[in-house]
Amino acid sequence: MIERTFPSALQSLVTNQRCVSCISSMEKKIVSLLEGVSCIKEMDQVHALITKTGLKECSSVACRMVSFCVVSVSGNLNYAVLVFEELAKPAPFVWNNMIRAYANSIFPIEAILLYNRMRSGNVKADSFTFPFVLKACARVSRSIEEGHKLVPLHKGAEAHCTIIQTGLELDPFVQNSLISMYSISGSIEVARLVFNRMTQKNIVSWNTMVMAYYRQKNIESANGLLKEMPIRNVVSWNTMIAAHVDSGDIKAAEMVFEEMPERDAASWNAIIAGYIKKKSYSRALELFDKMQGANVSPTDITLITLVGACAKLGAMEMGKKLHEYIEKNVGFEAEGIMGNALVDMYAKCGNLKAASLTFERMRMKHVTSWNAMIVGFAVHGHCNEAIELFSRMQSSGTKPDSVTFLAVLTACSYSGLVDEGCEYFRNMIEKYKIEPGIKHYGCMVDLLSRSGLLEEAHDVINRMPFEANTIIWRTLLGASKTHGNVELAEVALENLGRLEPLKHGDYVLLSNVYAEAHRWDDVERVRKMMVEMGVLKPHGCSQIEMSG
């Protein structure tokens, strides 16, 4: 109905917009039009009219434009940013909506930066601002390494001070957000202090504190609070499911799920996520079918989780159906976390064309978006495309991270680009100040080994700041067989034996190295050793998807 009436309403406004005395009336009509917008194309049309009539600085108009872009599933963050940056003096409500959008997006750090801009512009933060800012601090804290959580925690504590100064410390929404932020950032004691000081604890407060204890693996305190709760709601049950899932007890989680008096989308999300965590991907997809049968609409979290399951299973047909469902029934765009999940799914299933198409349609590409596509190209041997995309990433101003360089080094390894790989490895350390992990060193060993530079590869192993793992030693062992280096094969096998019991493949590789060097006595010795130790070659197996 909206699609049929919208263009005619817009045409009527265009006809009447010349009358200056009708500006107030036109503002009301444009606001009414904005309330009926159902897609970005219609928003573009109204935006053009708003610009033409000079109403883009109107507070009510700007609020509704930004609200549509950040709240509606048909909107998108990129458009909201464009609208927001055009405003000379955004109203506090507009600032709040933008901070909220970033806090919920793949760019939570931007919410904190926007809050800083808001404060420096002397725009007063209110009880709606702080929950979004605190959520952003918690999400940033959750996404970074354990040892670097102090930055978002300090920012959250700074916001807490401002909350006290502005007299909002007793606001229940703000208090609940503080509990969540402190617990996620690792300060469970401060979270409990905030909880204890609350004069009016609502069901959200209890659930947030219980989940905080579960998150910290403090089951005793969590169960103690559950017993004290005056009432329980569906969120309380969901919290219990999430706690069991987090502890790895999926049977207990499903028992709670089956006993629940009522279920919402979050209940289904929690149990589906639990089975995916246990790598029971088929069961997760079965539950999704049951969820639809129960007439519960999936949320973006459900769909992202299921797309991830398809990626793990290699179930591309199911992944395609989910993508179609997302576009037709839900209206989510392939942006942010959803876009990353789809790119990763298509890439892992080997459909690089669909992965690339989905990636190119993304308007705002986070470093994780670039990584998903670069990794996809690299692991499937499309090394030139991976390196070209890395160059595009740098040109776009997106800063690569450790995952990016792991993908690029993998691409260089598969292509035998030794000089380029060494250069990227140096740039990672010197230019981007990224400390290489064991996987980066493993890529360098693989790169040098594939090119026959075994002594250089062994030198990399010796210069590593930590002990090499079995994967690295097996890489050197395999390369030693390929290039006929008996001495290094023996070194690799000796170090493997120190780390774990040797496998049949290790003995076979060493035996083949001796055979190619015509050291038949050593071949016989290794074969005899395998028989004496009862080392057997297991049967191979493989699987392939047929007709979905």
| In a domain? residue 248 | no
Check whether residue 168 and residue 222 sit in a common domain. Answer: yes
Rounded-to-integer distance, Cα 105 and Cα 428, Å: 27
The predicted model gives 321-331 an average pLDDT of: 77
Binned at pLDDT 50, 70 and 90, residue 8 comes out as very low
Region class of 402: left (phi > 0), else alpha (psi between -120 and 50), else beta: alpha
**pLDDT surpasses 70 at 398:** yes
Check whether residue 84 and residue 110 sit in a common domain. Answer: no
- Last residue within a domain, chosen from 90, 115, 138: 90
**How many domains does the structure of the chain reveal?**
3
| In a domain? residue 135 | yes
Check whether residue 65 and residue 145 sit in a common domain. Answer: no
DSSP string, 251-311: HHHHHHHHH-S---HHHHHHHHHHHHHTT-HHHHHHHHHHHHHTTPPP-HHHHHHHHHHHH
Binned at pLDDT 50, 70 and 90, residue 3 comes out as very low
Binned at pLDDT 50, 70 and 90, residue 484 comes out as confident
Please check whether residue 91 is in contact with residue 137, taking contact to mean a CB–CB distance below 8 angstroms.
no
Distances (CA, A) of 273 to 284, 514, 520: 7, 49, 54
| In a domain? residue 243 | no
Looking at 198-264, list the stretches that DSSP marks H as alpha helix, in order from N- to C-terminal side. 203-215, 219-228, 234-247, 250-259
- Last residue within a domain, chosen from 173, 201, 231: 231
Least reliable range by pLDDT among 67-76, 156-165, 270-279: 67-76
pLDDT in tens, 94-109: 899 899 988 988 888 8
| In a domain? residue 272 | no
| In a domain? residue 376 | no
Most confident of 2-6, 294-298, 385-389, 488-492: 385-389
Q: In the chain, what's the furthest Cα-to-Cα distance?
A: 103
- Last residue within a domain, chosen from 90, 116, 137: 90
Check whether residue 85 and residue 160 sit in a common domain. Answer: no
Check whether residue 86 and residue 124 sit in a common domain. Answer: no
Check whether residue 138 and residue 182 sit in a common domain. Answer: yes
pLDDT in tens, 281-315: 888 888 888 888 888 888 778 888 889 888 888 88
DSSP string, 510-548: HHHHHHHTT-HHHHHHHHHHHHHTT--PPPP--------
Residue with the two structure tokens 């169960």: 223
Looking at per-residue pLDDT, the higher value among 421 and 285 belongs to: 421
Looking at per-residue pLDDT, the higher value among 425 and 144 belongs to: 425
Least reliable range by pLDDT among 50-59, 164-173, 449-458, 534-543: 534-543
| In a domain? residue 316 | no
Check whether residue 134 and residue 218 sit in a common domain. Answer: yes
Least reliable range by pLDDT among 156-165, 436-445, 511-520: 511-520
Query: pTM score, two decimals?
Result: 0.65
pLDDT at 444: 93
pLDDT at 226: 83
Half-sphere exposure of 412 (CA within 13 A, CB side): 25
Looking at per-residue pLDDT, the higher value among 499 and 208 belongs to: 208
pLDDT at 115: 94
Report the Cα–Cα distance between both ends of the chain, in Å, rounded.
37
pLDDT at 441: 93
| In a domain? residue 457 | yes
Check whether residue 41 and residue 117 sit in a common domain. Answer: no
Check whether residue 111 and residue 76 sit in a common domain. Answer: no
| In a domain? residue 398 | no
Check whether residue 129 and residue 19 sit in a common domain. Answer: no
**pLDDT surpasses 70 at 46:** yes
Check whether residue 59 and residue 141 sit in a common domain. Answer: no
pLDDT in tens, 330-384: 556 677 888 899 999 999 998 999 999 999 988 888 899 999 999 999 989 899 9
Check whether residue 16 and residue 133 sit in a common domain. Answer: no
Q: Write the CB contacts of 446 (distance below 8 Å, at least 6 apart in sequence).
A: 413, 475
Domain that holds residue 497: 453-538
Question: The domain spanning residue 500 has which CATH number?
Answer: 1.25.40
Give the three-class secondary structure for 409: helix
